[in-house]
């Protein structure tokens, strides 16, 4: 496929408008041909549909779709798109359950379409230089602090508090997507504590303890109740001193104080995602890494639940 990939965006919420549409507009590999949403209206006078079934019935020529819906409804939409032979971009998290994602991966193989489970934080500009620097270092420990104000970043998004909505793991999975990328060895959960508001189904905070296959400790602190300065930080202690990733992976500081950057082509999380999606489609392959989702699933399996005060927005 050498012509622009004709793309429809499904689920026109804040992330679609703020991140997806600008990245698509700047990428010559893609041509936005339609938007699909239960709410809102058309973008730039392009065709607009209330659901994927109406898009299919229209007969509009589409090669791929980007799904920006809440995870609870994403599997059915993705399966419908794959049945059309359309390539599918899944916003993070790629599904509400691991089984859903495995089923979609099998469907993509059966239809020959490409499936891309995107992890936007892996495309922050400090992540790949951090991975390269850590590859031949002795790692002694890692600490993740991901604390943000849910009222600022997810105002009015009731789905995030429902079963399958992930709660604080919606941002926390971004941290896990980085850590699973930069650390050289696999790691696994040993204990977890989840703070769940008494009027909600999903946690508002979580404290996690991991060990890697060499016994190195990794600790994570996720909290949706942060006021004032927000924290999206990862510190990896090594035999050469601490490596620090701040601002959600955007700022890397090495022990000597230097601040290396990624290659120019990797700058920008969503431009990087769309460049990767185009490459996957052109190659006729899929890119589906469930490691971050697996750690979240393990936290729900193993975690001790603490009921805390109700959350009222």
pLDDT at 266 over 60: no
pLDDT 10s digits, 46-59: 999 999 999 999 99
Separation between Cα atoms, residue 214 and residue 195, nearest integer Å: 29
Task: CATH number of the domain at 193, please.
Answer: 3.30.360.10
Q: Is the peptide bond before 93 cis (omega within 30 degrees of 0)?
A: yes
Q: Report strand pairing: 139-147 vs 217-223.
A: parallel
The sign of the CA dihedral 294, 297, 302, 305 is positive
Structure tokens at 31: 């041509």
Mean pLDDT for 188-210 is 98
Which residue shows structure tokens 């050498």? 2
Asked whether residue 90 falls in the same domain as residue 130, the answer is no
Mean pLDDT for 176-199 is 98
Task: Give the residue numbers spanning the domain of 39.
Answer: 5-117
Asked whether residue 108 falls in the same domain as residue 138, the answer is no
Asked whether residue 108 falls in the same domain as residue 159, the answer is no
Asked whether residue 241 falls in the same domain as residue 131, the answer is yes
Mean pLDDT for 201-214 is 98
The phi-psi region of residue 40 (left if phi > 0; otherwise alpha if psi is between -120 and 50; otherwise beta) is: left
Asked whether residue 58 falls in the same domain as residue 171, the answer is no
What is the total count of domains within the chain?
2
Task: CATH number of the domain at 86, please.
Answer: 3.40.50.720
Q: Which residue among 87, 117, 147 closes a domain?
A: 117
Q: Which residue among 98, 117, 136 closes a domain?
A: 117
Structure tokens at 75: 């599997």
Question: 38 with 53: CB under 8 angstroms?
Answer: no
The catalytic residue positions are: 92
pLDDT 10s digits, 221-256: 999 999 999 999 999 999 999 999 999 999 999 999
| End-to-end CA separation in angstroms for the chain | 47
| 288 within a domain of the structure (yes/no) | no
Task: Say what the pLDDT of residue 2 is.
Answer: 74
Q: Which residue among 117, 143, 167 closes a domain?
A: 117
The mean pLDDT of the chain is 95
pLDDT at 20 over 60: yes
Asked whether residue 105 falls in the same domain as residue 209, the answer is no
Class of residue 205 by CB neighbours under 10 A (exposed 0-12, middle 13-18, buried 19+) = buried
Separation between Cα atoms, residue 214 and residue 86, nearest integer Å: 42
Name every residue whose Cβ is closer than 8 Å to that of residue 62 and which is 6 or more positions away in sequence.
Answer: 6, 7, 8, 33, 34, 55, 84, 86
pTM of the predicted structure, to 2 decimals:
0.94
Question: 285 with 113: CB under 8 angstroms?
Answer: no
Asked whether residue 131 falls in the same domain as residue 257, the answer is yes
The phi-psi region of residue 112 (left if phi > 0; otherwise alpha if psi is between -120 and 50; otherwise beta) is: left
Asked whether residue 66 falls in the same domain as residue 171, the answer is no
| 274 within a domain of the structure (yes/no) | no
Residue 40: pLDDT band by 50, 70, 90 thresholds?
A: confident
Asked whether residue 94 falls in the same domain as residue 147, the answer is no
């Amino acid at each position: 496929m050498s012509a622009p990939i004709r793309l429809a965006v499904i689920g026109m919420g804040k992330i679609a408008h703020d991140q997806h549409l600008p990245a698509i507009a700047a990428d010559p590999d893609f041509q936005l041909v339609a938007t699909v949403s239960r709410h809102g209206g058309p973008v730039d006078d392009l065709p607009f549909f209330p659901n994927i079934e109406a898009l299919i019935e229209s007969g509009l020529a589409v090669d791929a779709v980007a799904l920006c819906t809440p995870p609870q409804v994403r599997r059915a939409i993705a399966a419908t798109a794959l049945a059309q032979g359309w390539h599918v971009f899944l916003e993070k998290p790629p599904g509400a359950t691991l089984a859903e994602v495995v089923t979609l991966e099998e469907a993509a193989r059966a239809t020959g379409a490409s499936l891309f489970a995107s992890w936007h934080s892996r495309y922050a500009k400090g992540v790949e230089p951090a991975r390269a620097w850590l590859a031949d270092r002795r790692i002694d420990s890692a600490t993740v602090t991901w604390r943000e104000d849910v009222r600022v970043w997810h105002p009015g998004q009731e789905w995030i508090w429902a079963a399958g909505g992930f709660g604080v793991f919606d941002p926390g999975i971004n941290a896990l997507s980085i850590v699973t990328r930069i650390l050289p060895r696999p790691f696994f959960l040993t204990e977890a504590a989840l703070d769940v508001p008494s009027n909600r189904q999903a946690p508002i905070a979580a404290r996690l303890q991991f060990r890697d296959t060499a016994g190195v400790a990794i600790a994570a602190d996720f909290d949706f109740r942060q006021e004032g300065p927000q924290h999206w930080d990862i510190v990896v202690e090594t035999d050469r001193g601490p490596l620090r990733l701040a601002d959600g992976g955007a700022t890397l500081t090495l022990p000597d104080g230097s601040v290396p950057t990624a290659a120019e082509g990797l700058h920008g999380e969503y431009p990087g995602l769309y460049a990767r999606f185009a490459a996957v489609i052109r190659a006729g392959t899929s890119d589906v890494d469930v490691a971050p989702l697996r750690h979240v699933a393990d936290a729900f399996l193993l975690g001790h639940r603490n009921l805390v005060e109700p959350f009222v927005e």
